[in-house]
Amino acid sequence: MDKGYIHVYTGNGKGKTTAALGLALRAAGAGKKIFIAQFVKSMEYSEIKALKSLKDSIDIKLYGHGCFITKNPDKKDILAAQEALKKVRNILVSNKYDIVILDEITIAIFYNLLSTQDVLSLLEDKPDHVELIITGRYCPQEIIDKAHLVTEMKEIKHYYTQGVLSREGIDK
């Protein structure tokens, strides 16, 4: 069995989730089993619809509780993230999956839904063979230090600054 590594896709640029989902697509093509946990997200974006056609290879669960990005998270948001972390820990150690993606988990840390220590503890529980992918802005240095591969998406220019909203199939 191959060794599994810890990847981090972080930074302010576009493409963190897209990179993780691209890896999932590649792994599905290689016959691997993938679990994707989306923290703080509760809307079914286009990629979720597409991934449903790969349900034999990819399982996905949205653990978000509405959108709090424009307001302070409430107790429901915190409980949802903490419950998700418990479920993900069980999934991670179940030996059912080759790859586990924790999409936007660093945003859950940034908004104090989870602690850095909670996530570091999860990393310690990772079985040797599981590839673990972490995405989101504001990744804590302690998680970067623990990872084997870190990619920072750096925004150079973005059409959002010119008033272009998220477009179906491109940005959402």
- CATH number, domain with residue 53: 3.40.50.300
Burial of residue 49 (number of CB atoms within 10 Å: 0-12, 13-18, 19+): exposed
Q: What percentage of residues in the chain have a pLDDT greater than 70?
A: 96
Measured over the CA atoms of residue 111, residue 21, residue 133 and residue 149, the dihedral's sign is negative
Residue 131 in any domain: the answer is yes
pLDDT digits (tens, 9 = 90+) for 129-170: 999 999 999 999 999 999 999 999 999 998 888 888 888 878
CA distance to 12, 88, 93, 96, 157, per residue, from 1 (Å): 35, 22, 15, 14, 42
| Residue 1: pLDDT band with limits 50, 70, 90 | low
Report if residue 145 sits inside a domain: yes
pLDDT tens figures, 50-79:
888 899 999 999 988 766 555 678 888 889
Do residues 63 and 84 touch, judged by C-beta distance below 8 A? yes
Helix%, strand%, coil% for the chain, nearest 5: 40, 15, 45
Structural domain includes residue 168: no
Query: What's the gap between Cα 74 and its chain centre?
Result: 21
User: What is the spatial distance between Cα 4 and Cα 12, in angstroms, rounded to a whole number?
Assistant: 26
pTM more than 0.85: yes
**Domain for residue 1, yes or no?**
no
CB 136 within 8 A of CB 13: no
Measured from the Cβ of residue 138, the count of other Cβ atoms closer than 10 Å reads 12
In a domain, 33, yes or no: yes
pLDDT in tens, 11-25: 999 999 999 999 999
Boundaries of domain holding 21: 6-162
Question: How many angstroms separate the CA atoms of 51 and 59, rounded?
Answer: 8
Total domains in the fold of the chain: 1
